Amino acid sequence: MCQQPNFKNFLITSNVFHNGLGKHNVPWSYYAEQFLKLIGIEGINWYISELDFILAFEIPERLGLLGDKTCQKACLNIREKLKICPVDQEILEEARFYNLNFFDSIRLACAIDRNLDGIVTWEPELFSQNLEDSQQIQKENHGLIKTRAVHDEDNQLTYERIWVFGVSRFLLCLDDFSNGDLLKDKQQLTKFVLEKVEVIIGEKITATIIIRNFEEDSTQETAEGNSPIDALQKAIDRGINKYVLIPERHLSYFHIPATILQGADGIVEVVIRTECGNLSFEKSSENQNIFQAAGDAYIKTINSICDYYSDTSISIS
């Protein structure tokens, strides 16, 4: 769980609308549900820059790109709640101080001008002005970024900061969960390890896995997929579903951090992000076998989901 201030005021960016309601490799309805969840949070004031409002609504309306009825409903509901931040000369002057692209500089300047608590966007790492912070924010899907340089009470130079969030991480940080009733009895929750991975790539792509829980029960599963990682996820899910029933989930992010591999047998790190209901879980793992690393990382996200629902503060019925 991330730490946060008392959130009340947020800027939302147009790329959330484009990626959530326009086109993506999972159904639009999933992102519409995320949006409906987002706008239903009581006590949050939503802002958008004047430029983003045009990009998010006026242009898509003209081109007929707002998606199906469910997505249009989500889009209309959040549009009615938005407060538009004009892009005037002061905003343009403020934006010049940030080493970002033009649109992100405008967004950051608007958020600072309105003294907002944070920014909700699709790629929060793009708001960072150095590589190290960007990689950390990309990994966590949220973080604090530096803005203005100011002098503190001791006249020491320091930086003001503002939060940036991806949509799923924003929901997670607000503790706004609603899927506890989809689990089996809490006593059935367990931890899993991946004992075997075998991926065959031919006319068909298949993955065979063996997973074991900490009660020493194990199961072997095989599945076909559109890609090796897709087949691997499906095989693991079949095994997991024999032991626990968790909310519908999908692997939303698969990433190999930029690095130079040390030879053909070098160790590879794989980062996996799994969306489960309205929650987001991200883990990484290392192995010489990229499929083993991916499978281990995915299993870690499953274990995190089980950990969350086994918390005594969560109602599971």
Domain ranges of the chain: 9-173, 180-310
What is the band of 192 on the pLDDT scale with cuts at 50, 70, 90?
confident
The tens digit of pLDDT for each residue in 83-138 reads 999 999 999 999 998 888 999 999 999 999 998 989 999 888 888 877 777 888 88
Q: Which amino acid is at 69?
A: K
Q: What is the mean pLDDT of residues 279-300?
A: 90
Least confident of 190-194, 220-224, 248-252: 190-194
d(CA 173, CA 41): 12
DSSP per-residue string spanning the chain: --------EEEE-HHHHHHHHT--SS-HHHHHHHHHHHHT-TT-EEEEEHHHHIIIIIHHHHHT-S-SHHHHHHHHHHHHHEEEE---HHHHHHHTTSSS-HHHHHHHHHHHHTT-SEEE-S-GGGG-SSHHHHHHHHHHTEEEEEEEEEE-TTS-EEEEEEEEE-HHHHHHHTT----GGGS--GGG---EEEEEEEEEESSSEEEEEEEEETTS-EEEEEEEESSHHHHHHHHHHHHHTTT-----EEEEEEE--S----STT--EEEEEEEEETTEEEEEEEEESSHHHHHHHHHHHHHHHHHHHHH-TTS---
Looking at the structure, give the CATH architecture of the domain made up of residues 180-310. 2-Layer Sandwich (3.30)
pTM over 0.75: no
Q: What is the dihedral of CA 252, 67, 120, 126, to 10 degrees?
A: 70
d(CA 200, CA 158): 54
**Statement: residue 199 has pLDDT above 90:** yes
The pLDDT mean for the chain works out to 77
- Provide the token pair at 13: 């960016």
Out of 20-29, 69-78, 162-171, give the one with best mean pLDDT. Answer: 162-171
What is the band of 312 on the pLDDT scale with cuts at 50, 70, 90?
very low
Q: Which CATH superfamily is domain 9-173 in?
A: 5'-nuclease (3.40.50.1010)
Radius of gyration of the chain (CA): 22
